């Protein structure tokens, strides 16, 4: 992606400037929203000045259901901000600008638990105990 674009925002846009968009340099789109949902897009980004990769989940509140925006989104934001566990993705920052919510979090290079279950099947109880202890 061009360096003058930040998660779909042009450098000349007011939103881009107000976001202080020099913090992350997007390098790839990880997944696109499903046809029915059209709510979330995840990007992989490299934090400028660092080598660690982060994921950015972008939620468009205009395209989400009223119930999702008023009930489920605030709950999700509250929960992800409060959880700190070595086997659960950490959320570094949540930024709301206009109708978009940006959630910057750990990037799971090898996928998440759902990817693991889809490719390798269920997780044994002993392994699950280790993962969630």
pLDDT, one tens digit per residue, over 15-68 is 444 444 445 555 566 665 543 333 344 555 555 555 567 777 888 888 888 998
Query: Residue 23: what pLDDT?
Result: 52
Predicted TM-score (pTM) of this structure: 0.65
Within 10 A of 132 (CB to CB), how many other CB atoms are there?
11
Does pLDDT of 70 surpass 80? yes
Does pLDDT of 75 surpass 90? yes
- Say how many residues make up the chain: 133
Query: Residue 6: what pLDDT?
Result: 46
Q: How far apart are CA 2 and CA 94, in angstroms?
A: 23
- Measured between its terminal Cα atoms, the distance across the chain in Å is 39
């Amino acid at each position: 992606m061009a360096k003058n674009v930040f998660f779909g925002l042009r450098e000349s846009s007011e939103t881009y400037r107000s976001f202080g968009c020099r913090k992350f340099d997007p390098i790839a789109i990880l997944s696109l929203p499903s046809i029915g949902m059209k709510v979330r897009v995840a990007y992989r980004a490299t934090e400028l000045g660092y080598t660690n990769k982060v994921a950015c989940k972008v939620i468009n509140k205009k395209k989400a259901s009223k119930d999702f925006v008023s009930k489920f989104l605030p709950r999700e934001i509250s929960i992800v901000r409060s959880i700190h566990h070595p086997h659960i993705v950490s959320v570094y920052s949540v930024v709301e600008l206009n109708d978009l919510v940006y959630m910057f979090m750990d990037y799971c290079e090898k996928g998440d638990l759902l990817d693991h279950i889809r490719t390798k099947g269920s997780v044994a109880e002993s392994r699950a105990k280790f993962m969630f202890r």
